[in-house]
Structure 1
Amino acid sequence: MPFSSLFRLDLRRLIMLLAFLSGIATLSNTFYASYQVQREALIQNTLEANRVYATKLAASIEEYFEAVRQQLGYSAALLSEHFSDETLLRAELARLKLQTDSFNSVFAVDAQGTLLDIYPETLSQLRGIRATSQAAQTALSAKIPLISEPYQGASGYLLIAISSPVWTREKRYLGYISGTLYLEQPNMLSRLLGEHYYRDGSYLYVAGSDSRLIHHVDPKRIGERVPNNPVIKAVLQGETGSMQLINSQGVEMLAGYAPIPSSGWGVVAQRPLKAVMAELDSLMWAILYQSLPWAVVGLMTIYLFARLISQPLWQLARGARSLDAENAQDQIQQVKAWYFEAAQLKRAVLAGFSTLRQRIGVLTRDVLTDPLTGLYNRRGLRVTLDTWQLKQQGFAIIALDIDHFKQVNDTYGHDMGDQVLKYLATVMQECSRTADLACRNGGEEFLLLLSGAHLEDARQVAERLRLRMQLADIPHIDRSITVSLGVAEWYPNSGITVEHVLKMADQALYAAKQQGRNRVVTAAVDVEQANLG
């Protein structure tokens, strides 16, 4: 076989190998970078979701405790002049137990610690005994409404007691009435917590002030003390937040937590990191499977172009060996087409991975947008602000907030609250231009950035948006939904940072709230006049 044929064959193989390795390296690097971005986004979103969830549940439990304390307080006031009347006392205890089913049992203890009566009747054998538990002694000595730590009751159950003192009109202490919640038996509290069990590996638990588990998805762990868990330590110190940790069972968790102030307890909602990563793995495999056909097409194109590359390179080598020939310059001129072929090869590789990049673009947009409203989130806001600053592009800011949004959630439920948020997002997009940016800043707080707009223009847009919401007829909501808005402006070389302008818009929004809500306040004029006033 001629030497020239061997050289051409080896060169073609080398080019093909280099092209294939470059393509695989690019695919692997892009895939890995996408995986890392999505992994971090999923972890942060899960932590935030668990924090919000724990906060809402802690608020619900706090409301429940407030309701049962009111029930006990009402009964204590009712019995203040009839505490020694066995008939009335038994009837009131029965009413407390049966009317709302808030307690597993209800009992009354006199000032000397004697159990006067108890309901249900199945516990009647306990009447007349001395209440010697730590919870009873604390209630007798403190003489104030209390929620006890878990203890083993005379009934044999692990329980907590919620008590209210009984005083006469002459301020004489008679004892207390108490409702108990058996931690290992069904009751209102267990139902409230049990309704929030996920099927994706997530679960929640409640820890008492002594680090003892009051509620857990595994009933066997109720009553167990977990003193070295960093999440429990944080929530029992009154902190609200989220944390990635390895729990007492050695499982890596993504936890959100919030305290219950009246009881000193803490709610923790958590999900195994492994379950979160399983979702990401499934997503990345799906992207890979959909991209493989295009990758195969791209690699085949690389193979064809590699074969074409060998011919002009061979012509270059032949021209180099015959520089003194008359047509040597023409041969080298032909080699110049090699650069065009190389560019074609590069485009073929890029075309082969265009589908993957589109997928990555979709994932990137998901990271930058709010999943509920489709508006940009804080990351998207930051990217846009950085871009506009680099371009020295002025803009106006409208900060807006739904008035009394908590009342909407409390009255109509969180699903209807979400519908209101999505409706407001739609109105914001309809009241803005393509070049503008609508952003959900968190909760019911939104921002609208108007590219190239001045303060008066933004104020008019804000007023139009406010009026649209005030007159909106949202299905299934029989009240007017209003918004308060703050307007500010940033322009290049103003000497004011974008962060300060954002704060000005927020202050204007706060001023709108202070002035009665459902109004527009501009940072440059209205806020200053309010401060002077």
Structure 2
Amino acid sequence: MRINLRGLVLALTIFSAIAATANALYASYRLQREQLITTTLEANRVYAAKLAQSAGGFLKAAERQLGYSARQIAPHMDAPDMLAAEVRRVQEQSDTFNSVGVVGPDGVILATTQDFRSFLGTRIDSPGSRAALQSRHPVITKPYVSIAGNLLINLSYPILAADGRFLGYIAGTLHLRKESALDDLLGLHHYTDGSYLYVVDGDGRLIYHTDASRVGEVVSGNPVIEAVIEGQAGARRVVNSRGVDMLAGYAPVPASGWGVVAQRPTAVTLEPIRELLWALLGYAAPLALVFLLAIWWCARQISLPLSQLATNVEHHDVAVAMQRVKSVRAWYFEAERLKRAVIWSFTTLQEKIGKLNLASITDPLTGLRNRRGTQDAVDHLQASGTPFSVLALDIDHFKQVNDTYGHTAGDKVIQDVAQLMRDCSRPGDILCRNGGEEFLILLPGVAPTEAVIVAERLRQRTAEREFPQVGGITMSAGVAQWPTSGPDVVQAFHAADAALYAAKQQGRNRVVLHGTP
């Protein structure tokens, strides 16, 4: 007969009473340790968020300053003295930029600050200039080396005539390895406890670091950097690219693709607690060691089956979890009873959930995803940031099929089309029935041009197929992509519907890519 939990708890209580002092000290250490880590993480998160907000405000102010100047000089692009005066005013008024320049629509420098007057009249072909000329919108470039050999970031603003013609742009630079307003903003606070901060751009390249020699370095393999350049904010414990355990807070800089990270070595944070612990252990070690060993042995024997059950229950794959639960050695009555209950619950729950999930997301006629299943797939793709192409499909003149041959024949056509969709798709593609004769295919990671090929293959297979009772039918398709069609997923579906409508208007039995004539 198995020993029950009451006897085990009684034995453990006797040992626990003797070891109360040691347990209290240990609990105090654990609590202080977690509180200190939590406090440090929160402090770094708040500091990173505030600094990111300040940096974002700085960039917005710089953009507004350039925008104001662009509007002022637009009527005077043929007056070099006016351009030079405005460039000088922008640089001297706020010390925001290391240099300022005005460039014409052909890339020729029309005005610049004193240090770079030798470049007047020359055509500039830097990454910053190319970006400004191609975009014709306000641009914050990635770091690059200028024609003068400086590692910098270029902020530009287009100059437009009253009729909207592009007249050139005005730009300001922020040096990354020399003193600049950005360096002054980010380097405002200094610490002696090992804390420091750095800023990365959207490629993970350091654009500010307390160690100036690392500016321009691309950092990989750091989960904090990967998170912040994806626009996430928060705090976490992480081992950085140099192998140092850090408590990091991070926040994205609005509208720039940058990220600010403030961090402190975990070892430095926990050092005071460690020193206190060693002092306490020096006094309590002899007796505490005996009781700790006894408690550890008892606790381990009691908790091992429960711990294994809890760990295995948390496994995401229910089948694997149930197999592992069966292998747990439940050596006392309550654990064995719990094990049996868990196995029974897993079996019952797996059957019910499987049936409900499948029924809730599946179209009963075709076996494709229904509207709910489509929404689940879209939510997953959007949450993971995976771009995808949308194929909106519609059987041409399907109402005539139903009217002529009946709904049973129409249903058989829909089932056959669904099978053609499966035959023309990859395992990772998402096939959906949108209702009636309307279908959707979502192609994760597929460019619009490739999606057109898929749609054209399906259209051709449909047109070549001989359907029972009905004969030949055709299909029209509209193609769009998220996020190319707009940041909102709904825009991509509307774009695909619009392209499908265009295909219908152009005579049906064709594929139209949204945005093409």
TM-score normalised by L of structure 2? 0.50
Contact 2:53-2:254 within 8 A present in 1 as well? no
Any residues of structure 2 matched to 1:323-334 within 5 Å, and which? none
Could you report, residue by residue, the CA deviation over 1:197-247 in whole angstroms, capped at 9, with x for unpaired residues? 322111110000111000001000000001321111101111111111110
Could you report, residue by residue, the CA deviation over 1:434-469 in whole angstroms, capped at 9, with x for unpaired residues? xxxxxxxxxxxxxxxxxxxxxxxxxxxxxxxxxxxx
Any residues of structure 2 matched to 1:95-110 within 5 Å, and which? 95-110=89-104
Query: What amino acid does structure 2 have at the position aligned with 1:211?
Result: G
In the alignment, the residues of structure 1 paired with residue 181 and residue 32 of structure 2 have an alpha-carbon distance, to the nearest angstrom, of: 40
TM superposition shift of 1:112: 0.4
**Pair 1:214-2:207 in alignment:** yes
Contact 1:83-1:89 within 8 A present in 2 as well? yes
In the alignment, the residues of structure 2 paired with residue 22 and residue 173 of structure 1 have an alpha-carbon distance, to the nearest angstrom, of: 80
In the alignment, the residues of structure 2 paired with residue 27 and residue 123 of structure 1 have an alpha-carbon distance, to the nearest angstrom, of: 73
Any residues of structure 2 matched to 1:342-357 within 5 Å, and which? none
1:64 to 58, 61, 69: 58
TM superposition shift of 1:281: 2.6
1:234 to 227, 246, 251: 227
1:247 to 236, 240, 255: 240
In the alignment, the residues of structure 1 paired with residue 84 and residue 211 of structure 2 have an alpha-carbon distance, to the nearest angstrom, of: 36
Name the structure 2 match of 1:496.
Answer: none
Name the structure 2 match of 1:381.
Answer: none
Structure number with bigger Rg: 1
In the alignment, the residues of structure 2 paired with residue 161 and residue 83 of structure 1 have an alpha-carbon distance, to the nearest angstrom, of: 21
DSSP 3-state at the match of 2:232: coil
In the alignment, the residues of structure 2 paired with residue 283 and residue 45 of structure 1 have an alpha-carbon distance, to the nearest angstrom, of: 19
Any residues of structure 2 matched to 1:34-113 within 5 Å, and which? 34-113=28-107
TM superposition shift of 1:174: 0.7
Query: What amino acid does structure 1 have at the position aligned with 2:52?
Result: A
Query: What amino acid does structure 2 have at the position aligned with 1:114?
Result: V
Contact 1:212-1:224 within 8 A present in 2 as well? yes
DSSP 3-state at the match of 1:123: helix
Contact 1:107-1:118 within 8 A present in 2 as well? yes
TM superposition shift of 1:41: 1.2
**Pair 1:137-2:113 in alignment:** no
Name the structure 2 match of 1:126.
Answer: 119
Any residues of structure 2 matched to 1:295-314 within 5 Å, and which? none
In the alignment, the residues of structure 2 paired with residue 26 and residue 233 of structure 1 have an alpha-carbon distance, to the nearest angstrom, of: 45
DSSP 3-state at the match of 1:227: coil
TM superposition shift of 1:271: 0.6
Any residues of structure 2 matched to 1:366-515 within 5 Å, and which? none
In the alignment, the residues of structure 2 paired with residue 244 and residue 39 of structure 1 have an alpha-carbon distance, to the nearest angstrom, of: 13
TM superposition shift of 1:33: 2.4
Could you report, residue by residue, the CA deviation over 1:226-274 in whole angstroms, capped at 9, with x for unpaired residues? 1321111101111111111110011000111110121110011111001
Contact 2:220-2:241 within 8 A present in 1 as well? no
DSSP 3-state at the match of 2:197: strand
Name the structure 2 match of 1:262.
Answer: 255
Contact 1:165-1:177 within 8 A present in 2 as well? yes
Query: What amino acid does structure 1 have at the position aligned with 2:59?
Result: F
In the alignment, the residues of structure 1 paired with residue 161 and residue 101 of structure 2 have an alpha-carbon distance, to the nearest angstrom, of: 18
Query: What amino acid does structure 1 have at the position aligned with 2:241?
Result: S
In the alignment, the residues of structure 2 paired with residue 222 and residue 30 of structure 1 have an alpha-carbon distance, to the nearest angstrom, of: 48
CA RMSD of aligned residues (A): 2.3
TM-score normalised by L of structure 1? 0.49
In the alignment, the residues of structure 2 paired with residue 282 and residue 88 of structure 1 have an alpha-carbon distance, to the nearest angstrom, of: 67
DSSP 3-state at the match of 1:94: helix
Q: 1:96 and 1:26, CA in 2 relative to 1: closer, same or farther beyond 3 A? A: same
Query: What amino acid does structure 2 have at the position aligned with 1:267?
Result: V
In the alignment, the residues of structure 2 paired with residue 132 and residue 48 of structure 1 have an alpha-carbon distance, to the nearest angstrom, of: 45
TM superposition shift of 1:141: 0.9
Could you report, residue by residue, the CA deviation over 1:88-140 in whole angstroms, capped at 9, with x for unpaired residues? 11111111111100010001111001112211x12222222222122211110
Q: 1:280 and 1:114, CA in 2 relative to 1: closer, same or farther beyond 3 A? A: same
In the alignment, the residues of structure 1 paired with residue 278 and residue 187 of structure 2 have an alpha-carbon distance, to the nearest angstrom, of: 34
TM superposition shift of 1:167: 0.7
In the alignment, the residues of structure 2 paired with residue 38 and residue 97 of structure 1 have an alpha-carbon distance, to the nearest angstrom, of: 51
TM superposition shift of 1:52: 1.1
**Pair 1:177-2:173 in alignment:** no
Residue-pair matches, total = 272
Name the structure 2 match of 1:277.
Answer: 270
Query: What amino acid does structure 1 have at the position aligned with 2:233?
Result: T
TM superposition shift of 1:29: 3.6
In the alignment, the residues of structure 1 paired with residue 228 and residue 189 of structure 2 have an alpha-carbon distance, to the nearest angstrom, of: 19
TM superposition shift of 1:188: 1.2
Q: 1:124 and 1:273, CA in 2 relative to 1: closer, same or farther beyond 3 A? A: same
In the alignment, the residues of structure 2 paired with residue 270 and residue 166 of structure 1 have an alpha-carbon distance, to the nearest angstrom, of: 41
Listed as ranges, the gaps of 5+ residues in structure 2 are 1-14, 288-517
DSSP 3-state at the match of 1:79: helix
In the alignment, the residues of structure 2 paired with residue 286 and residue 59 of structure 1 have an alpha-carbon distance, to the nearest angstrom, of: 43
TM superposition shift of 1:146: 1.0
Name the structure 2 match of 1:147.
Answer: 140
Q: 1:286 and 1:130, CA in 2 relative to 1: closer, same or farther beyond 3 A? A: farther
Could you report, residue by residue, the CA deviation over 1:402-449 in whole angstroms, capped at 9, with x for unpaired residues? xxxxxxxxxxxxxxxxxxxxxxxxxxxxxxxxxxxxxxxxxxxxxxxx
In the alignment, the residues of structure 2 paired with residue 116 and residue 108 of structure 1 have an alpha-carbon distance, to the nearest angstrom, of: 5
TM superposition shift of 1:28: 4.0
**Pair 1:223-2:212 in alignment:** no
In the alignment, the residues of structure 2 paired with residue 205 and residue 110 of structure 1 have an alpha-carbon distance, to the nearest angstrom, of: 35
TM superposition shift of 1:55: 0.7
